[in-house]
Amino acid sequence: MPEMVGTGPEIQELADRVSGAWVAFARTGNPSHALIPKWLPYGASDRSTMLINTEWKLASDPNREERLAMSKFPRLPMF
């Protein structure tokens, strides 16, 4: 979707990284591969999250403030 990812030359590199992550995950259960930073498993204590863009970056609890703000609201009932 060009509206979301653009049309420049970096789009193929992004596609290669995303595809590589899916292939690595399908093979091993871990999306890490040579074209991206080491992808650590998500855990409740560190909340490791891969931020995917033209530059990939592993972050610890990247939306902490928003998550904590939303935690104050009751959860909607499940049907």
Which of the pair, 3 or 62, is modelled with greater confidence? Answer: 62
Report the share of the chain in percent with pLDDT over 70. 99
- Confidence (pLDDT) at 4: 77
Asked if 16 and 35 count as a contact pair (C-beta separation under 8 A), the reply is: yes
Look at residues 59, 58, 67, 13 and name the one whose alpha carbon lies nearest to residue 38: 58
pLDDT in tens, 29-55: 999 999 999 999 999 999 999 999 889
Residue 1 has pLDDT above 90, yes or no: no
- Confidence (pLDDT) at 20: 97
Q: What is the mean pLDDT of residues 6-34?
A: 93
- Residue 12 has a CB neighbour count (10 Å cut-off) of 9
